[in-house]
C-alpha cells in the first residue's frame, strides 16, 4: 500500500512539473545525500518533501541509513591480502598450464602410437602381399636417386662455369652493395623509431 502511494506521489509530481522526462525521486535523494544538487534542484526537492509526506518519510529513512553507513568504521584488508590473491592467481594459472601441457602430451603420444602402428601395419602388408610391387618401387627409387645425382652434377658444373665469369662477380658485388645499403637504412630507421618511442 505504501509503495503504491509512493508511486502515485511520484506520478503526481511529474504531472505537476509538466516535464518531458520522468522524475526519479530515488535519484534525486541520492544526489541530495551526496550534496550534488544545485540551488534550484535543492529548492524543488525541499518543496516536494513538504508537499508529499510519504516521500518525506522515504527521505528520512535514507538519511538514517546514510548516517549508519557513515558511522561504521572503515576496515582495511589484511596486510598480506594482495600477496595472497596474487599467489592464488599464479597457482591457478600454473595449474591450468599443467593441465594443458598434459593434454597436449597425451594427444601427441596417441598420435605417435597411431602413426607407428599404421606404418608397421602397412609395411607388413606390403612385405607379405606386394612383393612385385615393392620391387618396382625399389627400382623407381633407385632411378630417382640416379636422376638426382645427375642433376647435382649438372648444377655443380653450371655453377662452376658461372663463377669463373667476371659478369657473375659484378652481379654478386652489386647485390651485396644493395643489400648492405638496405640493411643500413633499415638499422637507421629502427634506431630513430626506438628513440621516438623512448622520448
- Give the global pTM: 0.32
| Amino acid 154: pLDDT | 87
Query: How many CB atoms neighbour CB 61 within 10 A?
Result: 11
| Amino acid 110: pLDDT | 92
Task: Please give the grid coordinates belonging to residue 178.
Answer: 644493395
What mean pLDDT is reported for the chain?
80
Taking only the tens place, the pLDDT of each residue in 102-160 is 998 899 999 999 999 988 887 777 667 666 766 777 788 998 998 999 888 888 887 77
**DSSP labels, 136-152:** HHHHHHHHHHHHHHHHH
Q: Provide the pLDDT confidence category of residue 196 given band limits of 50, 70 and 90.
A: low
Does position 63 have pLDDT exceeding 50, yes or no? yes
Nearest 5°: CA angle at 61, between 55 and 62? 90
Taking only the tens place, the pLDDT of each residue in 28-41 is 888 888 888 888 98
Amino acid at each position: 500500500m505504501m509503495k503504491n502511494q509512493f508511486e502515485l506521489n511520484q506520478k503526481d509530481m511529474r504531472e505537476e512539473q509538466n516535464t518531458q522526462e520522468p522524475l526519479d525521486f530515488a535519484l534525486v535523494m541520492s544526489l541530495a545525500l551526496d550534496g550534488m544538487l544545485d540551488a534550484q534542484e535543492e529548492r524543488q526537492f525541499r518543496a516536494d518533501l513538504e508537499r508529499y509526506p510519504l516521500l518525506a518519510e522515504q527521505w528520512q529513512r535514507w538519511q538514517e541509513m546514510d548516517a549508519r553507513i557513515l558511522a561504521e568504521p572503515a576496515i582495511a584488508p589484511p596486510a598480506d591480502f594482495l600477496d595472497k590473491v596474487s599467489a592464488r592467481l599464479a597457482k591457478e594459472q600454473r595449474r591450468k598450464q599443467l593441465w594443458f601441457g598434459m593434454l597436449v602430451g597425451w594427444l601427441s603420444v596417441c598420435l605417435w602410437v597411431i602413426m607407428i602402428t599404421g606404418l608397421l601395419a602397412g609395411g607388413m602388408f606390403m612385405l607379405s602381399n606386394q612383393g612385385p610391387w615393392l620391387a618396382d618401387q625399389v627400382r623407381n627409387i633407385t632411378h630417382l636417386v640416379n636422376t638426382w645425382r645427375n642433376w647435382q652434377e649438372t648444377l655443380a658444373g653450371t655453377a662452376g662455369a658461372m663463377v669463373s665469369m667476371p659478369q657473375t662477380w659484378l652481379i654478386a658485388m652489386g647485390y651485396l652493395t644493395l643489400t648492405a645499403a638496405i640493411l643500413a637504412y633499415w638499422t637507421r630507421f629502427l634506431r630513430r623509431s626506438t628513440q621516438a618511442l623512448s622520448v
